[in-house]
Amino acid sequence: MSIFNNKSILVTGGTGSFGSYFAHYILKISNPKRLAIFSRDELKQSELKNKFDPNRSLRWFLGDIRDKDRLKIALQDVDFVIHAAALKQVDTGEYNPMEFIKTNVIGSQNLIESALEAGVEKIVALSTDKASSPINLYGATKLTADKLFIAANNYGKSRECIFSVVRYGNVIGSRGSVIPYFVKLSRDQQPLPVTDLRMTRFWITLEQASKFVEESFEVMRGGELFVPRIPSLKIVDLINVISPNAEIKVIGLRPGEKLHEEMISQDDSWRTSKFPNKYVVAPVFAEWGYDGKVGEQVPEFFTYRSDNNDQWLQEQEIQNVINTNQYL
């Protein structure tokens, strides 16, 4: 039985790649009392609405997480929140830093305060690998948001509202995925741009990300940073599968871009536990009584990076992903 059964759920950023997929996922695996899609783009809401049975338990809220009053209205009688709303383009964030701060930081705090006031039971906020040891504005705002959500566990009345964070890597099938871009260039017989031939990335599907968020709701006690154990991929291996004879153009690292992605830093290793399918990073402090002594303690100076991962996508697995056409 799904934890979402007979629950009132709100998804911020509900028309984004994850939010729209997760809405379908929830309705496939459960029977919620209400599923509210909260986003600021009326066109995307209209397009998404047409993909659902109009008799389902869906509700459509136009609004921006920068608008606290609108959030308060949307959160009335809501049990669970999945916070997926964010500005995410790295280069755009470098040029427009305050806009990212308004949405990713101030908007997140608006959601926290509104949820506490509304009496929401559980919130899972979505993070990114770029929040670990951030080198760009986007990553810095997401790290700040992560800390806001974890610290919010100190403020709930009698622990009525608990907050946790899920952090994962690049999503296969998302609008920002490099795969459809490479496929299009290959079809047009154009050179494929690569920042560095050594580059590696974490990869997760929308289905896997949705399942992991569901599992996190089931086990969360508040204050955890959940990180799935997912495979890495060498970008050159991806290109070799998409187009073995493609011309590769090395363009160098862009501003704010890492050669390898990181989801758990060495400085966080002392509070990180390992499980068969995930890592759990305990909060730095937990005055609400969090007991993080579960799972297997990772080794001292452990880091979880895309280049030192113990799981890698092989060529046939990459081909299987491409053949699904879920992102084309």
Q: Which of 302, 4, 34 is nearest to 124 (CA)?
A: 4
Domain that holds residue 85: 8-171+203-230+265-304
The secondary structure element, H or E, covering residue 163 is strand 162-168
Q: Does residue 326 fall inside a structural domain?
A: no
Average pLDDT score over residue span 27-55: 93
What tens digit of pLDDT does each residue of 82-115 get?
A: 999 999 999 999 999 999 999 999 999 999 999 9
* Statement: residue 326 has pLDDT above 60: no
Q: Does residue 167 fall inside a structural domain?
A: yes
Q: Does residue 241 fall inside a structural domain?
A: no
Q: Does residue 40 fall inside a structural domain?
A: yes
The residues near 303 (Cβ < 8 Å, ≥ 6 apart) are 262, 264, 265, 266, 269
Residue type, 298: V
Which of 185-190's residues contact partners 24+ apart within 8 Å by CB, and which partners?
185/246, 186/242, 186/243, 186/246
* Statement: residue 328 has pLDDT above 70: no
What tens digit of pLDDT does each residue of 258-282 get?
A: 999 999 999 999 999 999 999 999 9
Bigger pLDDT: 291 vs 248: 248
**Separation of alpha carbons 207 and 83, rounded Å:** 17
Cα pseudo-dihedral 151, 204, 300, 165, rounded to 10: 10
Domains held by the chain: number: 1
Q: At what angle do helices 107-118 and 137-151 cross, to 10 degrees?
A: 20
Q: Mapping DSSP to helix (H, G, I), strand (E, B) and coil, where does residue 240 land?
A: helix
pLDDT at 315: 84
130 is catalytic: yes
Q: Does residue 196 fall inside a structural domain?
A: no
- Where do the H-state alpha helices sit in 52-195? 68-74, 90-95, 97-100, 107-118, 137-151, 178-187
Cut 0.85: pTM above it: yes
- Active-site residue, selected from the candidate residues 130, 142, 234, 258: 130
Encoding tokens for residue 103?
A: 């949405």
Strand boundaries in the chain, DSSP class E:
8-12, 34-39, 58-62, 80-83, 122-128, 162-168, 170-172, 192-194, 200-205, 225-228, 232-234, 248-250, 262-264, 272-274, 278-281, 296-297, 304-305
pLDDT at 127: 98
Contact 99, 87 (CB under 8 A): yes
Q: Does residue 251 fall inside a structural domain?
A: no
Average pLDDT score over residue span 241-252: 88
Residue type, 178: V
% of residues, the chain, pLDDT over 90: 71
* Statement: residue 188 has pLDDT above 80: yes
Encoding tokens for residue 272?
A: 């990180």
**Separation of alpha carbons 188 and 183, rounded Å:** 9
pLDDT at 143: 98
Residue 116 CB neighbour total at 10 angstroms? 18
* Statement: residue 245 has pLDDT above 50: yes
Residue 151 CB neighbour total at 10 angstroms? 17
What tens digit of pLDDT does each residue of 44-87 get?
A: 999 999 999 877 789 999 999 999 999 999 999 999 999 999 99
* Statement: residue 30 has pLDDT above 90: yes
pLDDT at 276: 94
pLDDT at 327: 41
Angstrom distances, CA of residue 319 to CA of 82, 205, 253, 314: 31, 14, 26, 9
Q: Does residue 314 fall inside a structural domain?
A: no
**Separation of alpha carbons 246 and 249, rounded Å:** 10
Q: What is the CATH number of the domain that holds 12?
A: 3.40.50.720
Q: Does residue 319 fall inside a structural domain?
A: no
With 0-12 / 13-18 / 19 or more C-beta atoms within 10 angstroms meaning exposed / middle / buried, residue 173 is buried
What tens digit of pLDDT does each residue of 159-185 get?
A: 589 999 999 988 876 666 788 888 888
Question: Which pLDDT band holds residue 322 (cuts at 50, 70, 90)?
Answer: confident
pLDDT at 169: 84
